[in-house]
Amino acid sequence: MGLVCPGLLLYLCVLNIRAALAAPPAASVQVELTPSKNVVYVNELFSLTLTVRISGVNLQKNMELLDLPGADKLEMSAFEELPPERRMAGGVVVEIRRSRCQARALRPGTIELKPKLRVLVITKRFPGSILFPEESSVTRYDVTIPPCVIESRSLPKPEDGVVFSGAVGAFSMDVSVSPTNIAPGSLVKVVSHISGTGYLTGVLAPVMPLVPKLKIYEPRLAYSNTDEVVFERDVVPQSSDVSEIPPLSFTFFDPAAERYVTLSEGPFGLTFVEAGGTTSKAPDYAPPLTAHVKVPPQPAAAREGFGRSFRFWTWCAVSALLLALIAILCSLLANRTASRLQPVAAVIARVAALIALGCMWYAAHVRRLERISDVVIRREHALYAPRKGAERLFSIPAGVQVGIAETYDGWVRVVWNKRSGWIPADALLTRQEAEASGSSR
């Protein structure tokens, strides 16, 4: 038994030394970069697949592609790693790693890909040895990749009258319109949803033709990613003669078919509803011009603080009188004295007289405006038309004076800051009522 143990130890030592000194299998790293298409159009998306075959060597997961074309020729997304594979070839295990990215040619011409793949090789000494400690080191290598060529073509010229959106690929379009039961002047939202596969960055919104008495606003981008875009557009039918929203069209280039494709959705019918809720052809409003608006009495709390604003013109008038008095006194002083103050008094008299004239003019102007203006008693949104649901134009804060342009069916078209819009008549307080409420307090 004593001889067996030393013999067994000697045998194990020999096995470890042979394993440590044994020649490893031949190391091999083969790399390929394969495009899904060798002939593409500008802005057409295609894929690049990086395939790495590894045998007899351990590589770190991180790899780096070098010597790629400039960013002005080819745009590439980040590589996404695909599930790895393992195969037996000639009694050796071959590991296959694949990664894929999306690419896009930015201009026509020939693009030659001659990159290199930088890998990190892990070398281990005495693996699995029980007598020698395992050692590992990392070495960097640049593996040459066989070149490949991609031919990029320019897009053909669209036909006359076709508005090309800039999208390249295969897409579909869905359009929704709401509301469709409206009155003239109501705001209608048109939402266009475009989705598919291809290049959608920076594309133009679907085209809507101009229609008489239909106010069309510029579209806005509501949502965007690599596979879809959503545009919103506001339109306002200004008359019940606008029976429908015109069809929208979206033109893209299909590289598979090598032609332009135009998608069209619509038209979308509109139903005009009268104030009573019945459906009919709603007449256009024709508001009569009136001198003033009659509004119901408002609570005193709502009128609080309005009376003081109407006294501004009186301050201007009092200032004008004081300045006129100063001008007269300075003029008399300039005529009766022979001292050095005479020129100064004359200048002060002229300046005071000019300012007095200006104050008098401004007081008269403010007084004239107050006679044709009312006061907004609560914050309101000025609307495009005199009915609820119409397009909002701007906001009017409470307590400001507004000019009165016309009235119609319980609505008032007011003018404020050189803009006009419709607000409810009960949102206004006449100047006389405001002054009366201010004096009563």
pLDDT tens digit string along 268-292? 999 887 544 444 443 444 443 333 3
Q: Is the per-residue pLDDT at 259 higher than 90? A: yes
**pLDDT at residue 436, rounded to an integer:** 56
pLDDT top residue among 328 and 316 = 328
Q: Lowest-confidence range among 183-197, 249-263, 265-279?
A: 265-279
**pLDDT at residue 234, rounded to an integer:** 87
Distances (CA, A) of 8 to 4, 14, 20, 131, 276: 6, 10, 18, 14, 107
Q: What is the DSSP string of 309-373?
A: GGGHHHHHHHHHHHHHHHHHHHHHHHHH--STHHHHHHHHHHHHHHHHHHHHHHHHHHHHHHHTE
Q: Is the per-residue pLDDT at 438 higher than 60? A: no
Phi, psi (degrees; rounded to nearest 5) at 440: -70, -25
**pLDDT at residue 295, rounded to an integer:** 36
How does DSSP classify residue 17?
H
Mean pLDDT of 383-406: 80
**pLDDT at residue 309, rounded to an integer:** 40
Q: Lowest-confidence range among 30-44, 219-233, 296-310, 372-386?
A: 296-310
Which residues belong to CATH 2.30.30.40 in the chain? Answer: 307-440
Tell me the percentage of the chain whose pLDDT exceeds 70: 73
**pLDDT at residue 322, rounded to an integer:** 79
307-440 CATH, one of 3.90.320.10, 2.30.30.40, 3.10.20.30, 1.10.1740.10 = 2.30.30.40
pLDDT top residue among 96 and 360 = 96
CA distance 28 to 93: 11
**pLDDT at residue 187, rounded to an integer:** 83
**pLDDT at residue 413, rounded to an integer:** 83
pLDDT per residue over 44-62, tens digit each? 999 999 999 888 788 888 8
Q: Indicate the CATH number for domain 164-272.
A: 2.60.40
Mean pLDDT of 392-401: 85
Residue with tokens 């690599």: 226
Q: Are 192 and 233 in contact (CB under 8 A)?
A: yes
pTM of the model: 0.60
**pLDDT at residue 273, rounded to an integer:** 75
* Residue 109, beta-bridge partner list: 152
How does DSSP classify residue 11?
H
**pLDDT at residue 140, rounded to an integer:** 86
Q: Is the per-residue pLDDT at 303 higher than 50? A: no
**pLDDT at residue 431, rounded to an integer:** 59
**pLDDT at residue 301, rounded to an integer:** 34
- Spatial strand order of the sheet with 419-424 comes to 392-396, 380-383, 419-424, 411-416, 401-408, 373-376, 428-430
Listed in sequence order, the residues at least 6 apart from 198 whose beta carbon sits closer than 8 Å to its beta carbon are 44, 45, 167, 168, 169, 170, 171, 252
CATH class of 26-153: mainly beta
Q: Are 220 and 190 in contact (CB under 8 A)?
A: no
Q: Is the per-residue pLDDT at 63 higher than 90? A: no
Q: Is the per-residue pLDDT at 346 higher than 90? A: no
Phi, psi (degrees; rounded to nearest 5) at 437: -65, -35
CA distance 352 to 359: 10
Mean pLDDT of the chain: 78
Q: Are 68 and 115 in contact (CB under 8 A)?
A: yes
CA distance 374 to 414: 9
Listed in sequence order, the residues at least 6 apart from 426 whose beta carbon sits closer than 8 Å to its beta carbon are 295, 296, 298, 410
Q: Which amino acid does the sequence have at 33?
A: L
Q: Lowest-confidence range among 98-107, 211-220, 294-303?
A: 294-303
Query: Which DSSP helix (H) or strand (E) runs through 91?
Result: none
What tokens were used for 9? Answer: 């130890």
Q: Which of 43, 47, 38, 36 is nearest to 80 (CA)?
A: 47
Q: Is the per-residue pLDDT at 386 higher than 80? A: no
Q: Lowest-confidence range among 79-88, 129-138, 241-250, 296-305?
A: 296-305
Tell me the percentage of the chain whose pLDDT exceeds 90: 28
pLDDT per residue over 226-242, tens digit each? 889 999 998 888 888 88
pLDDT top residue among 252 and 325 = 252
Q: Which amino acid does the sequence have at 22?
A: A
Which residues belong to CATH 2.60.40 in the chain? Answer: 26-153, 164-272
